[in-house]
């Protein structure tokens, strides 16, 4: 069973100790673990799922003067797993057991029934913890370590029963909580399009910057030039790291966050000015000049080169005239306007 963990960056954790200079809780090798503790949220039912869950716990634990969430992981009723202390740091969840024990909170309270998804996710964490520790960890409830109601009678009975997961397989999803749909609209910033379906090198550049800053969890492939839901999810994680919430963190760029990500605001390359029309006398029988070559190459590039047996080249030929005439007729022009001799209008359109 794979374990998909929503990183602190993805759910928008505040810096450890609410201080960007903080090193956070003590580092601790996962190989020192001997026990696995299950917790619940307390007396009240928890009806929310999603990022609100770890954020609420973080706010509470920061207010207690802790470095951040004291649990190593938090599981919501949808089966999403949020990183708290994670695999490599000391916990703050059960006095006397914070070095030996991994602490996981299942976000239910009181007599609330935990969902199968939540239980399966917790069980998957247990299996992964045993694998990383290199030993079978003792299965415990908080009340096994200290006098407390936690993790409530229902979860405690589940722990005592051996933490059965009943065959449920948690979704191996992306970084967003299951059930949330990435925003699918586009914005134009400085002449370039961003958001679902946008296309171009500037999209690749955003994706690469997100990966470089550690927000690449959502990418299964790429990043590439086509803006996908993965780009939206990665960008949303980045927005949350800036403290944005709600619609401001929907994964569609705004000018401020984009400039901050790239240290600059990309713009559309200015269109190359069309070369000035050199005059009608450059395109007539007997003419031989570089503008004829330029004209011919443009015709070929636009798909109007079928009359060329060779070339195009600098000498004006009937093939040039026929190709120009095809191009002019394709503009809807007739008569003298489609005689195959280019004037300023033909030239301007060809080089537009």
Q: How far is the CB of 105 from Zn ion (least distance, A)?
A: 7
321 near Zn ion, rule: CB under 5 A: no
* The one among 5, 13, 36, 39 contacting Zn ion by CB under 5 A: 39
Question: What CA–CA distance (Å, rounded) separates 219 from 24?
Answer: 28
If the CB atoms of residues 57 and 258 are measured against Zn ion, the closer one turns out to be 57
Q: How many residues in the shown chain lie near Zn ion by CB under 5 A?
A: 3
- Shortest distance (Å) from residue 103 CB to Zn ion: 7
Rule CB under 5 A: say whether 104 interacts with Zn ion: no
Answer whether the bond into residue 151 is a cis peptide, omega within 30°: yes
Cβ contacts of 196 within 8 Å, gap of 6 or more: 182, 183, 184, 185, 186, 227, 228, 229, 231, 232
User: Which among 39-47, 194-202, 262-270, 276-284 is the span making contact with Zn ion, rule CB under 5 A?
Assistant: 39-47
Strands of the sheet containing 101-106, edge to edge, are: 5-6, 81-83, 73-75, 101-106, 35-39, 138-141
Q: Which stretch binds Zn ion (CB under 5 A): 32-40, 187-195, 273-281, 304-312?
A: 32-40
Least distance CB 142 / Zn ion (angstroms): 3
> Residue 104 is inside which H or E element, if any?
strand 101-106
Contact pattern for Zn ion over residues 121 through 160, marking x by CB under 5 A: ---------------------x-------x----------
Which residues does residue 38 pair with via DSSP β-bridges, in sequence order? 104, 141
Q: Kindly write out the interface string for residues 223-262 of this chain, putting x where it contacts Zn ion by CB under 5 A and - elsewhere.
A: ----------------------------------------
First-to-last CA distance in the chain? 57
Cβ closest to Zn ion, residue 91 vs residue 312: 91
For Zn ion, the closer of residues 41 and 83 by Cβ is: 41
Closer residue to Zn ion, CB minimum distance, 34 or 149: 149
Give min distance, CB of 19 to Zn ion, in A.
Answer: 26
Nearer to Zn ion, 142 or 240 (CB): 142
Nearer to Zn ion, 109 or 313 (CB): 109
Q: Give yes or no for a contact between 134 and 31, defined as CB atoms under 8 angstroms apart.
A: yes
3-class secondary structure, 215 = coil
Nearer to Zn ion, 106 or 175 (CB): 106
Closest CB to Zn ion among residues 151, 174 = 151
- One-letter-per-residue 3-state SS of 295-341: HHHHHHHCCCCCCCCCCCCCECCHHHHHHHHHHHHHCCCCHHHHCCC
Q: Report whether 127 contacts 163 (CB < 8 A).
A: no
Q: Are 308 and 323 in contact (CB under 8 A)?
A: yes
Applying CB under 5 A, which residues contact Zn ion?
39, 142, 150
């Amino acid at each position: 069973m794979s374990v998909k963990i929503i990183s602190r960056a993805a759910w928008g954790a505040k810096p450890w100790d609410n201080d960007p200079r903080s090193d956070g809780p003590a580092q601790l090798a996962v190989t020192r673990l001997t026990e696995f503790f299950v917790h619940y949220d307390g007396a009240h039912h928890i009806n929310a799922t999603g990022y609100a869950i770890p954020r609420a716990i973080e706010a509470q634990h920061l207010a207690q003067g802790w470095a951040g969430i004291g649990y190593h992981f938090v599981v919501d009723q949808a089966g999403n797993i949020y990183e708290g202390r994670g695999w490599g740091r000391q916990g703050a969840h059960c006095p006397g057991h914070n070095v030996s024990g991994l602490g996981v909170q299942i976000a239910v309270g009181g007599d609330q029934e935990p969902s199968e998804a939540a239980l399966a996710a917790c069980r998957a964490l247990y299996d992964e913890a045993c694998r990383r520790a290199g030993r079978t960890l003792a299965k415990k409830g908080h009340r096994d370590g200290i006098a407390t109601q936690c993790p409530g009678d229902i979860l405690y009975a589940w722990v005592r029963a051996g933490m059965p997961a009943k065959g449920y397989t948690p979704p191996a999803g992306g970084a967003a909580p299951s059930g949330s749909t990435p925003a699918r609209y586009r914005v134009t910033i400085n002449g370039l399009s961003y958001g679902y379906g946008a296309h171009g090198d500037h999209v690749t550049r955003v994706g690469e910057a997100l990966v470089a800053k550690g927000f690449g969890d959502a990418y299964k492939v790429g990043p590439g030039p086509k803006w996908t839901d993965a780009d939206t999810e990665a960008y949303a994680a980045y927005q949350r790291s800036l403290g944005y919430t709600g619609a401001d963190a929907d994964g569609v760029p705004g000018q401020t966050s984009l400039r901050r990500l790239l240290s600059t605001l990309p713009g559309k390359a200015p269109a190359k000015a069309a070369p000035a029309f050199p005059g009608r006398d450059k395109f007539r029988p007997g003419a031989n000049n570089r503008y004829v070559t330029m004209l011919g190459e443009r015709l070929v590039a636009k798909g109007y080169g079928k009359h060329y047996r060779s070339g195009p080249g600098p000498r004006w030929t009937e093939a040039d005239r026929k190709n120009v005439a095809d191009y002019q007729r394709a503009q809807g022009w007739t008569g003298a306007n489609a005689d195959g001799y280019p004037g300023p209008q033909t030239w301007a359109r060809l080089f537009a």
